Structure 1
Amino acid sequence: MTVGIILSSVLLALVLLLALVLPSITSPTVPFGVRVPDGHVDDPVVVAQSRHYRWRVLLSGVVTAVAGVGMFAVTGATFLLPVSVLLLLGAWYGCFFLANQEIRAAKAAGNWYGGLRQGVAVDTGLRSDPPRFPWLWLAFPAIVTVATAVTGIIRYPAMPGQLAVHYGAGGQADRLAPKSIGTAFSLVIVQVIVTALLSAIAAGILRGRPDLDPAHPDASARWHREYASLGARTLLGLAGMITLGMMGASLLMWTGTRTPWAALAVVVPVLAGVGLCMVVLARHNREPRGTPRETGLTHRDDDRFWRGGLLYINREDHALMVPRRFGLGWTLNFGNPRAGMLLAGVLALISLVVILRFGG
C-alpha cells in the first residue's frame, strides 16, 4: 500500500506541476487556446485569467490529492488511484475552459483583431526537405525489445504454469492466467506497438504543418525545424524508457516476483521517461520572441477550428498533426479521416494485447 501511495502521489504531483507551468511555456499569442494579436498578449483580462487559472488548479490539485490518496490509504481500493488522477485531469480542463471562455468573450467584445492585417506563413521546404528522422535514437527501444524477447524465449520452459498478469497494491498477484505464448509475450507485443506508434508520431511531427508566425516567417521556420527534431528525439527516448519498464514487468511475470517494491522496476522508468520528456519539451516549447517584425502581418484568427480550445477540427487542412494550442508537442487534426483511422488502429492493438494477456 505504501508503494501505491508513493507512486500515485508522484503522478499527481507531475500532473499538477505540468498544469501550473503550461501557461508560462505556451506561446503568448494563444493564451488558454485563444488566438490573440501581439498587442493583446498582456491584456488585463489575459493576465487576470492566468492568475485565476493557477489558483483554481492548485486548489483542485490539493483537494484531489488529499481525497484520493486519503481514501486509498483508508480503504485500500486500488481503483481510487487512477480515479484521483482522472479527477485532477477533469478539474484541470475545467480551469482551462473557464479561462478560455473569459478571454474569448473579452476578445470578441473588444474587437481585438479590428484593423489588423491577418496572414498565414508556410514553409514549403518541410515537404521537399523535411528534418531527418533520428534513426540512431530508435536503437535504444529496439535493443531493449529484442533483449526482452530473447530473454523470454530462453526462460519460457522454466516459467510457472500460471503467470501473474496483475498485482494489487500490496504486491500480491490478484489475477493469474495460464502460461501461453500470448500471455508470456504480451508485454513484448506492447513494446513493439509502443515503439512503432511513437516512431510513427515522430515521423508525423517532422512532416507536420507548423504554426509559423507570419510577422517573421524565416525565424519562425528555423525554430520549428529545431523543435520538431527535438520532439522526434524526445518521443523515441520516451519509447525507450517505456520498453524498459515493460521489460521489468515481463521479468516480474516470468519469475513470479511478488513484492510491493518490485513494481518500481516497472513504474520508475516510465515515470522518469515522462518526466524527462515534459522537462525537455517545456524548456523549448515557446518560440523565441523579440525578433524584429518583417511583414507587418499577424496570425489569422482561427479559433473556429479549435473546439473547447484543445481539439483541432479542420476538414480543409490536410495535415494529420498540428502544434498544440495549449500544452506540449502536437495534436491530431480530427477533421482528417486519417486521425480516426489512427485511433481505431490503436484501439484494435490495445484490444489484441488484452485478449492475448488475459485470454490465455
Structure 2
Amino acid sequence: MACRRGARDLPVGSRFVRLRAAGGHAMIVAVIVSAALSVLVLVLALVLPAITSPTVPFGVRVPAGHAHDPAVTQQTRLYRRRVLAGGIAAAGGCVALFGVTGETVLLPVSVLVLLGLWYGCFFLANHEIRAAKAAGGWYEGLRQRITVDTGLRTDPPRFPWLWLTPALVITVATVVVGVILYPSMPAVLPVHHGAHGSPDRQAAKSVGTAFSLVFVQIGMTALLGGIATAIVHRSRPDIDPAHPRSSARWHRRYMALAAKTLLGLVAMIDLGMLGSSLLMWTGTVTSWAPLVVVLPILAAVVVAIVVLARNNRVRDEEEPDTGLTHRDDDKYWRGGLFYVNRDDHALMVPRRFGVGWTLNFGNPRAAMLLAAVAALIGLVITLRFTG
C-alpha cells in the first residue's frame, strides 16, 4: 500500500513519464505476441500441403494415381506463392498502419487477415483441383469402397487418463490458492487492462469477480477434456481401402497421440490461467504480464502442432495394395473444410486439410458442442469484461 500511495504522490510529470514507459512496454509486448502469432499462422499455412494426405490435396478426394497430377502440383505451387506474397503484404500493411496511428489493435488484425487470406488461397486451389478432377474423370472405372475398423467397438483404444492429471492438478491448485488468498486480496480488483497495460476497468472484490478466471479455467478444462474423449471414442477413422490393416493401426496410434497432445495443451492453458489469476489477486500491474501468460501457451500450441504434423500421414508398412480406392465423398465437404453428413453418426472426422479432427456438422451433437463453446465464451464476456 505504501508503494501505491508513493506513486500517487509523484509529480504530474513523473507520472506522465511512467505512463509513457508503460505504454511503450505494452506496445513492445503487443508487437512480440502479434508477430509470433503471424509467423505461426504463415508457417503453418505454407507447410500444410506437405503434411496433408496426398489423396486429399486441398480438401479434394482424389485417387492415389492422381495424387501427383500436374493440376495438383501446379495448384500447390500457386497456393504457396499466394500465401507467402499475401502474408508479407498483409503483415507489412498492418505494421505500417500501426506505425502511423499507434493503435495496437491493428497488430492482432494482421493475424485475422492472414487467416482470411489462408482460406482464400485454399479455396482457389480446392476449386481448381475439383474442376480438373471432374474434367479428367479421375474416378472413372475405379472400385470405390468404404472401409471401417470393426474392432473399435469390441476393442476401443484406452483413453489416456493419466495425461489429464496435470490439468486437473493445476485447476485444483488454482482454486486452493484463490481460497487462501481471498481474505488478503485488494478490495478492488482489475478485471480488464487497456492497450497500455494499465487497468481500465475494475470491480469490487467478490467471489464472482475474484474467481472469474477460475470458472473459465474449469469450463475450458472440461470442454477440451471432453473433446479429447470424443477424439478417442466418438471419431471416425478415415481408413484407406487400399491398405486397410496398416491404415487402421496408424489411426489408433494417432488418436491416442492426439488425445495426449490435447491434454498436454490443456495443462499449459490452465497454467496460463493460473498466472493470470495470480496477477489479478495480488494487484500486480505490469505491461509484460501478457508475455508471461501468453508465450508459454503459444509455445505449447507450437509443440502440439509439430507433434501432430510429424505423425499426420499413414506410414507405409509394405502392405499389399487391395486395388480399392476411397469413395468420392466431396459432396459432404462444404468448401473443402466443413463436413456435413446426416447419415454419418460420427461426431468428429479427420480433417481434409490440416491436422487433427473436425466436427460433423450434420450430427445433432455437434450443435450441443458448439453451444458449450458459445456458453464458455459468454462466461468469459460476462465475468471478465463487465462489471
TM over 0.5: yes
User: Letter of the aligned partner of 2:287 in structure 1?
Assistant: P
CA displacement, residues 313-360 of structure 1 (integer Å, 9 cap, x when unaligned): 000000000000001100000000110111012212321332233444
Asked whether the 8 Å contact 1:182–1:357 carries over to 2, the reply is no
CA displacement, residues 235-266 of structure 1 (integer Å, 9 cap, x when unaligned): 00000010011111111111122211122121
The aligned residue for residue 157 of structure 2 is 131
Asked whether the 8 Å contact 1:33–1:325 carries over to 2, the reply is yes
The aligned residue for residue 83 of structure 2 is 57
CA displacement, residues 51-74 of structure 1 (integer Å, 9 cap, x when unaligned): 000011111211121122332344
- Does 1:332 pair with 2:368? no
Q: Secondary structure of the residue that 2:58 maps to in structure 1?
A: helix
Q: 2: distance between equivalents of 1:36 and 1:260?
A: 51
User: Letter of the aligned partner of 1:175 in structure 2?
Assistant: R
The aligned residue for residue 256 of structure 1 is 283
1:314 and 1:230, CA in 2 relative to 1: closer, same or farther beyond 3 A? same
Query: Aligned Cα RMSD in Å?
Result: 1.3
Please give the residue correspondences for 1:144-159 in structure 2 after superposition, counting only pairs within 5 Å.
144-159=170-185
The aligned residue for residue 278 of structure 1 is 305
- Does 1:242 pair with 2:269? yes
How many residue pairs get aligned? The number is 360
The aligned residue for residue 69 of structure 2 is 43
TM-score under structure 1 normalisation? 0.97
1:72 and 1:177, CA in 2 relative to 1: closer, same or farther beyond 3 A? farther
CA displacement, residues 129-163 of structure 1 (integer Å, 9 cap, x when unaligned): 21111111111111111111111111112212221
Q: 2: distance between equivalents of 1:19 and 1:272?
A: 18
The aligned residue for residue 21 of structure 1 is 47
The aligned residue for residue 314 of structure 2 is 287
Which residue of 115, 133, 138 corresponds with 1:89? 115
Q: Secondary structure of the residue that 2:288 maps to in structure 1?
A: helix
1:69 and 1:127, CA in 2 relative to 1: closer, same or farther beyond 3 A? farther
1:247 and 1:216, CA in 2 relative to 1: closer, same or farther beyond 3 A? same
After TM superposition, give the deviation of residue 14 of structure 1 in Å.
Answer: 0.4
Please give the residue correspondences for 1:1-360 in structure 2 after superposition, counting only pairs within 5 Å.
1-207=27-233, 208-289=235-316, 291-360=318-387
Runs of 4+ in 1 over 6 A off after TM superposition: none
TM-score under structure 2 normalisation? 0.90
Q: Secondary structure of the residue that 1:260 maps to in structure 2?
A: coil
Query: Which one is further off, 218-227 or 166-175?
Result: 166-175
Q: 2: distance between equivalents of 1:69 and 1:159?
A: 39
User: Letter of the aligned partner of 1:164 in structure 2?
Assistant: P
User: Letter of the aligned partner of 1:274 in structure 2?
Assistant: V
Asked whether the 8 Å contact 1:8–1:69 carries over to 2, the reply is no
1:179 and 1:159, CA in 2 relative to 1: closer, same or farther beyond 3 A? same
Q: 2: distance between equivalents of 1:358 and 1:178?
A: 14
User: Letter of the aligned partner of 1:61 in structure 2?
Assistant: G
CA displacement, residues 165-213 of structure 1 (integer Å, 9 cap, x when unaligned): 2223322112222221111111111211111111111111112110000
Asked whether the 8 Å contact 1:57–1:95 carries over to 2, the reply is yes
Asked whether the 8 Å contact 2:246–2:317 carries over to 1, the reply is no
Asked whether the 8 Å contact 1:183–1:358 carries over to 2, the reply is no
User: Letter of the aligned partner of 1:177 in structure 2?
Assistant: A
Q: 2: distance between equivalents of 1:168 and 1:69?
A: 20
Asked whether the 8 Å contact 1:78–1:168 carries over to 2, the reply is no
Query: Which one is further off, 188-197 or 70-79?
Result: 70-79
Q: 1: distance between equivalents of 2:153 and 2:197?
A: 51
List alignment gaps of at least 5 residues for structure 2. Answer: 1-26
User: Letter of the aligned partner of 2:119 in structure 1?
Assistant: Y
After TM superposition, give the deviation of residue 128 of structure 1 in Å.
Answer: 2.0
Q: 2: distance between equivalents of 1:2 and 1:47?
A: 41
Q: 2: distance between equivalents of 1:280 and 1:9?
A: 22
Q: 1: distance between equivalents of 2:153 and 2:301?
A: 30
CA displacement, residues 277-318 of structure 1 (integer Å, 9 cap, x when unaligned): 111001101112473444210011000000000000000000
1:141 and 1:257, CA in 2 relative to 1: closer, same or farther beyond 3 A? same
Asked whether the 8 Å contact 2:340–2:360 carries over to 1, the reply is yes
Query: Which one is further off, 185-194 or 90-99?
Result: 185-194
User: Letter of the aligned partner of 2:231 in structure 1?
Assistant: I
Q: 1: distance between equivalents of 2:165 and 2:215?
A: 17
Q: 1: distance between equivalents of 2:39 and 2:257?
A: 25
